């Protein structure tokens, strides 16, 4: 199979994965096995595209493998719920597509964190999130960026249960050469 075909398939499955996560995030606490049967709700949910049952099952298996959703049985029905990591992933995707406002006051936004080893996944997730949003890593747990942080960032910290381990500061970049180097990295 060609690499371009593989990329197209991966992109389609990612869109389906996101659509399932959005559905679970906006739905009440849990959804029953609507994804597996061919209920009218499922057909309405994916009306804009042809989705086979096997594609849905594969997307759900991927989400479970990534620990973004969990499945349990309740009164002989399957229930799908978002995990904390799944909710954090949703916030991350929402943050990515929101317009960011660049700081014009000559200051940078500095994020400093000291997250314990027991929350390693959340710490690594936060590092990736900051790098994806054009923050420059100064030290292992110190990042600086040119943008204001949106309210979703604080929702993300709350969802990951690390808000008490993270400090957000404003700071001026002292030298013009450092300022230019900082701007050219992003």
**What CATH number is associated with residue 49?**
1.10.10
Residue 164: pLDDT band (50, 70, 90) is very high
Question: Does 40 score more than 80 pLDDT?
Answer: no
Do 65 and 112 have their domain in common?
no
Lowest average pLDDT, out of 110-119, 131-140, 171-180, goes to 171-180
Cα–Cα distance for residue pair 163/53, rounded to 1 Å = 40
- Give Cα 110 to chain centroid, integer Å: 21
Q: Which residue has the higher pLDDT, 42 or 97?
A: 97
Question: Does 59 score more than 90 pLDDT?
Answer: no
Do 73 and 104 have their domain in common?
no
Q: Is residue 91 part of a domain?
A: no
Question: Does 77 score more than 60 pLDDT?
Answer: yes
Is this structure's pTM higher than 0.95? no
Do 123 and 165 have their domain in common?
yes
Q: CA dist 171 to 26, 129, 134, 151, 161, Å?
A: 37, 20, 16, 19, 26
The last residue of a domain, from among 54, 82, 110: 82
Q: Is residue 92 part of a domain?
A: no
Percentage of residues in the chain having pLDDT higher than 70: 70
The count of domains in the chain is: 2
Contact between residue 83 and residue 66 where contact means Cβ atoms under 8 Å apart: no
């Amino acid at each position: 199979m060609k690499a371009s075909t593989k990329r197209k398939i991966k992109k389609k499955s990612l869109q389906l994965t996101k659509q399932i996560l959005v559905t679970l995030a906006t739905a009440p606490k849990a959804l029953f096995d609507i994804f597996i049967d061919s209920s009218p709700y499922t057909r309405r949910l994916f009306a804009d595209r042809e989705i086979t049952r096997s594609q849905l099952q594969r997307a759900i298996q991927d989400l479970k493998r990534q620990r973004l959703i969990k499945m349990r049985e309740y009164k002989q029905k399957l229930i799908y719920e978002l995990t904390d990591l799944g909710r954090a992933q949703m916030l991350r995707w929402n943050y990515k597509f929101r317009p960011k406002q660049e700081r014009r006051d000559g200051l940078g936004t500095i994020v400093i964190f000291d997250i314990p080893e027991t929350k390693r996944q959340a710490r690594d997730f936060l590092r990736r999130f900051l790098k994806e949003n054009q923050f420059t890593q100064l030290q292992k747990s110190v990042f600086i960026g040119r943008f204001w942080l949106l309210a979703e960032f604080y929702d993300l910290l709350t969802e990951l249960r690390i808000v008490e381990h993270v400090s957000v500061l404003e700071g001026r970049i002292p030298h013009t050469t450092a300022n230019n180097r900082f701007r050219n990295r992003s």
